[in-house]
Structure 1
Amino acid sequence: MGEQIDDHFFRHAETLELARKALAPTIVKCTEALTHALRAGNKILLMGNGGSAADAQHFAAELVGRFLRERRALPAIALTTDTSLLTAVANDFGFEQVFKRQVEALARPGDVVVGISTSGNSPNVALALEAARAIGCMTVGLLGRDGGGIAPLVDIALTVPAQQTPHIQEAHITIIHLLCDLVERTLFAEGEK
């Protein structure tokens, strides 16, 4: 068992180092897009399936609540939380439409729509991102492996260069925390609320 523990920590560290090397400039670009939208009075919409749904909710909670600084709430909505809406749309239109319908209802030009998919191939995330671009939103993919079919659909692709879903998810949460920290530092000087 000790060998498996060591291996997991090693793979985790290796994935984070690969992500750091590959994504640092893209993380800066994403931070700039998020802060630009928030400064302009726009909002962030987030989505994903399974563990990525939980990550979308976590990201929204850090923005609306706080990450490390006491500051005003930032407008962010996880499209994964309304079970009545999700089940109604899935039942009436198909599961592929659950995020697209919400984007069509809630997104406005200038908003940022973030799709999280470890495979980069989630059909419902892809359809929603396409709808977001048609509306005039900035689109971000928090992806894994080679970015899948979603990478070419987004303005900013944060693709973790790993194959195993758990390690991709571990890197995703690190990137989410980093983005929240950088957004707070950019928008709120020390003591500013």
Structure 2
Amino acid sequence: MQEHIRQLFSENIQTMIATGESLAAPLENAACVIVNNLVSGGKVICCGDGATQALAHHVAQLLLDQFETERPCLPAVALQAQNSSLQHNHQLDYLARQIKALGTSNDVLLVISLTGSEPCLIKAVEAALTSDMKIIALTVEGSGELSGLLNQQDVELKVPSQRRARIFECYTFLLHSLCELIDITLFPQQEDL
């Protein structure tokens, strides 16, 4: 069992290294897109489906409250999960309906997808595009339908792995890195920490 444990750590490290090599420039670009939108008076709207919904709430809270150091609150919101109060015919567009109600062209949609084929996330991206929002998408290789919706102004952070556990671990690290990049750009005095 200990050998298996070491193998898990090794797999995580290898996935993180591959992700760092392939996503350094897109991650920087994503931070710049969010910073520019925040400076222009926009907000970050975060969404996920299933397990990634927890990550959406986590990153929204880090932006709204603080990441590692005290700083002013940044406007961010995580979309609500589907609940029983929504009528049956709105089951797949519950995120899109929230984006239509809350999103503006100054905002950024941060969408977190484990497959790229979740119908509710695809509809959310379509709604964001209709509202002229910029999109930052955390995706995986083979996430064709969601990836295919993205425009030139959007940023895709595509993790080079097929194992959901490794992907989720990378997503958490990417989101924490994104928060740090936003903080050191908006509040450079915090960079020394």
Global fold match (TM > 0.5): yes
CA contact (8 A) 2:184 2:190 kept: no
Distance in 1 (CA, whole Å) between partners of 2:9 and 2:77 is 32
Q: Tell me if 1:10 matches 2:6.
A: no
Residue equivalent to 1:26: 26
CA distance in 1, matches of 2:85, 2:149: 27
Q: CA deviation at 1:87?
A: 2.8
Contact 2:183 2:190 in 1 (8 A): no
Aligned counterpart, 2:90: 94
Matched with 2:145 is 149
Deviation at 1:151, TM superposition (A): 1.1
* Structure 2 equivalent of residue 53 of structure 1: 53
Separation (CA, whole Å) in 2 of partners of 1:92 and 1:75: 31
Q: SS in structure 2 opposite 1:149?
A: helix
What secondary structure sits across from 1:159 in the alignment? strand
Length-normalised TM-score, structure 2: 0.92
Q: What does residue 70 of structure 2 align with? A: 70
Query: How many residues are treated as equivalent by the alignment?
Result: 188
Aligned to 2:125: 129
Partner SS state of residue 87, structure 1: coil
SS in 2 for 1:136: coil
Q: Equivalents in 2 of 1:32, 1:191: separation in Å?
A: 17
Gaps of 5+ in 2: none
Structure 1's consecutive aligned runs of 4 or more residues displaced over 3 angstroms after TM superposition are none
Secondary structure of the corresponding residue to residue 183 of structure 2: helix
1:133 Cα offset (Å): 0.9
Structure 1 residue 191 displacement after superposition? 6.2
Identical positions, percent: 30
CA RMSD, 1 decimal: 1.5
Match of 1:107 among 88, 103, 106: 103
Secondary structure, aligned partner of 2:144? coil
CA distance in 2 between partners of 1:189 and 1:131 (Å):
34
- Partner amino acid for 1:157? E
- SS at structure 1 position matched to 2:189: coil
Query: In the aligned structure 2, how far is the partner of 1:53 from the partner of 1:142?
Result: 12
The change in CA–CA distance for 1:41 and 1:164 in structure 2 (over 3 A counts) is: same
Taking structure 1 as reference, are residues 184 and 139 closer, same or farther at Cα in structure 2, changes over 3 Å only? same
Runs of 5+ unmatched residues, structure 1: none
The verdict on how the C-alpha distance between 1:191 and 1:156 changes in structure 2, with shifts beyond 3 A counting, is closer
Hey, what's the Cα distance between the residues in 2 that align with 1:138 and 1:191?
27
Whether the aligned pair in 2 keeps the contact of 1:114 and 1:141 (CA below 8 Å) is: yes
SS in 1 for 2:85: helix
Residue 80 of structure 2 aligns to a residue whose secondary structure is: coil
**For residue 88 of structure 1, what is the amino acid of its counterpart?**
S
- Give the aligned partner of residue 175 of structure 1: 174
Q: How far off its partner does 1:189 sit?
A: 2.3
Q: Distance in 2 between matches of 1:32 and 1:14?
A: 27
Q: Aligned partners of 1:184, 1:118: CA distance in 2, in Å?
A: 26
